[in-house]
Structure 1
Amino acid sequence: MTGTPQQPQPVAVEADFDAAPGMLEGAMELTIGPKECDLAYWITQVAQGTLRERGVTGHHENALVPDFLKAPGPLREALVLEFGLRALSEEIATRLLAPYVEIAPSILEMEFYSTQLLDEARHARVFRNHLVELGMPEATLMQDIEEMAVEFRREVLQPVIDFTLDIVQKQRDFYGGVAVFAIVIEGVLAPAAELSERKWTPLSPATGEISRGTSIDEMRHLTVANTILRDYVRDNPAYRPRLLEILRSGVDLWDSIDDRKFVMHREELFQKGMHEHAGLIADYEIWPGTRLLDTTADQRYAMAEQWTDKMAEARLADMGLPAEVMVSTTAKAPA
């Protein structure tokens, strides 16, 4: 039996590839929770909405990879490093989310974290796929990523893995785990994803679209987690000291990790490469009033720090928590 073909249904604004706000704006201003973002939402709004015509590679077939990113050079090296480390990070995030699904206190949280697990697995996949589009051999891709990320895994990812699993798996503290993943991990790394989208968009349509799609997902992850924590602390005020303790421990964790060297190495490569393609970038502004070509690696790094602080302040205020809890004793930035 065949039915009448149906027109695609309108997509929620926050999931619309073209109309969704930027990740930082959305994460600070949107208010959605697990009740809205259930499994049905993911199927209709994400899989059939955000990812429409972009489900395989993360970008539309008409969004191409420029030839200069397939040839040796500082821009290609910067992108390979960035997406290689992000692919590994997203793979690990996927594996870390399994205990969240297991100990979720209700079907709402279970469904939401099941969809986030799929999102993170998709992110890892499209980052890996993009490396193949850049010319890396698919047959040895996993080994190549592991080799480029040896120090990053040991010095950055492993401490984060240990910290997260101690809370969500050993202590089986679901809400503490939500705080770790959304505020300590994604809350620090998300501004780097925003920066990635902004800086690659004028250079590579495919790269920009991949980053745009992942940012839309991250915005949803941050916002829903914020709602989960806000409502739980409101209904269980005795948990507030525990939450603050976890957040402070998270800050201490990042203070102990030297992620700056990984960020700055690729930003310096990007800096060199972007000037080789200045005509393509032209007057494109990476943020209002500032041309990308006029920025330095240090300035972009500093702006990511500012975005991190601004986003944390807004989200903690929504939960009724003091912004000071996330203040670092050392200058840090996302990897």
Structure 2
Amino acid sequence: MTTTTPARPARTGPPAAVPTPAGPRRASTRVPLWLAVPALVSLLVTAGYPAVAGVALAFTDSSLARPLRAFAGFDNFVAAAESVAFGGSLLRSALFAVLATALGLVAGVAAALALHARGGRFGLLGAVLLLPMVTPPVSVGVAWKLLLAPVGGALTGLWDAFSVPGFNPLGSGPGAFATLVLIHAWQWTPLVTLLVFAALLGVPAELREAAALDGAGWWRTLRSVVAPVVAPTVVAAAVLQLVIAFKVFDLVTVVTAGGPGVSTIVASFEVFRTAFRGSFEVGTAAAETLVLGVLVGLVLGVAGLVTRRVRGADE
């Protein structure tokens, strides 16, 4: 006699969850906030305190001997706006920054392309080209002042060879201003060269090979393949160059001291003169500093819009 076991009814509910073995717990990636305290304190000391002190001086009647004497409102800003010397120095600073940046960009991009054409290695020649950038500006100014001295200067023989004995490029206002622009561009062109050379290394070789197969020449490859990749770096280098050029001070102090006359007095040097020479008006100098900061901020804002458009075009 055989017995049959009844069939089990089909399960209609959701399947039971299968227990999974517990793996290793993931470590937390959050950094404790107290580790940032030293950096925050350093930032407050080096940036926060000078900023607050500068604003306080700009709105008070302050001299070098007696700072923060009384609240002056916008009197210091009115004095800065009415100062013919400061207005002229702002124009000279803007002209200096634009000329030095344009010259440094052209020379830096050309040098980067030449170095990259040697085979993509920076090499000893590239390291030598970086020497002006790592030299202190004071040393650069002293060296060029000795080179350009009309009597006993190292370039005196060169002027004689061109039949211009006793030539002094620092003897006239336009000549001194142009000389400072050239010296500044010479010192900071290596920064552009280094940045653009690094960007050139990021251009895919496949794009160059595809352009060559399509019959594109050197100029067409540079314009259609290399330029879109390098353009954001060039714009960033231009912004850095503008900031550095607006801050130029030690080069002017060493080479020309603002002369001849007032032809090379830029805004930073005029702020120094207002605060530490003559009447020692520290409050007015602080107001001039804030005005200069606003001007630089506007220039950087325009540069930022250009950068966004360049990146948007590339994307």
TM-score range, shorter chain: under 0.3
TM-score, normalised to structure 2's length? 0.23
Q: Hey, which of these two has a bigger chunk of helix by percent? A: 1
TM-score, normalised to structure 1's length? 0.22
